[in-house]
Structure 1
Amino acid sequence: MPTHQSQLTLNDTILSTVAFQATEEVLFRQIEEEAVLLHVTNGNYYSLNETSLPFWEALQNQQPLTTAIDQITDSYAVERDQVLADLQTFLTHLLSYNLITQIA
């Protein structure tokens, strides 16, 4: 069961100043255009689809999330506002499942 976290609200300041990283309890495995996360402590698996992979890769490499946003808007016919909304939901879920932590 996820812990309840406050809603994360993204803006350009947060995207350029706040960093996240995977917790030590998370294992990652990419299989073609999808990936699986395993939370070692609780044994739960989480799947990532091809559009969430750029977000995860940016988190893993401690790159600005704007890089992933640009990659997704360049690769898919989607508006930046939609990508930001999806990223906000993605980060909120990862935080609530204790898969990532905020480091800045």
Structure 2
Amino acid sequence: MSPRYRLNEPDVSAEVFDEEVLAINLKTGHYHSLRESSIFLWQTLMQGFSIEETASRLTSKYPEIAAQALAETETFAKHLVEGGWSLRRLMRQALQTCPLPSLLANLSSAR
């Protein structure tokens, strides 16, 4: 299962402009200005696409970087998480198919 990402709110705030993303970590005071393909990576990951889906979309948009698209996307996502800009989240579908609710139901009915 591929992780999905979301903005680390309320610690991080971001605004997308025409040719730039400005993101500020309100907890640390650090800020980033993203441009060019980084804007595309940021927006696509924050929309809930996986790393693989984002790399595929990046390749479609910028065919000249197809060979390194997956590695670049993985590195970008890693920096987002390590820097506190983004948090990983599980796919909703994975949560819905998780056996935990049925296990809990079995435990409750066994009492």
Same fold per TM (> 0.5)?
yes
Q: CA deviation at 1:59?
A: 2.6
| Residues 6-58 of structure 1: per-residue CA shift (max 9 Å, x gap) | xxxxxxxx5xx311111011111122222111101111111212202222112
Q: Is the 8 A contact 1:54 1:71 kept in 2?
A: no
Q: 2:78 aligns with which of 85, 88, 92?
A: 92
1:34-49 paired onto structure 2 within 5 Å = 34-49=20-35
Q: For this pair of structures, how many residues does the alignment match? A: 88
TM-score, normalised by the number of residues in structure 2? 0.68
2:53 pairs with 1:53: no
Cα distance in 2 for residues equivalent to 1:92 and 1:64 = 12
Q: Is the 8 A contact 2:51 2:77 kept in 1?
A: no
Q: Percent identity?
A: 24
Match of 1:26 in 2: 12
**RMSD, aligned α-carbons:** 1.8
Letter in 1 for 2:47: N
Q: CA deviation at 1:75?
A: 2.1
**2:40 aligned counterpart, secondary structure:** helix
Higher relative contact order (CA 8 A, sep 6+): 1
Stretch of structure 1 that moved more, 30-39 or 61-70: 61-70
Match of 1:78 in 2: 65
Flag structure 1 segments of 5+ consecutive residues without an equivalent: 1-13
Letter in 2 for 1:78: I
TM-score, normalised by the number of residues in structure 1? 0.72
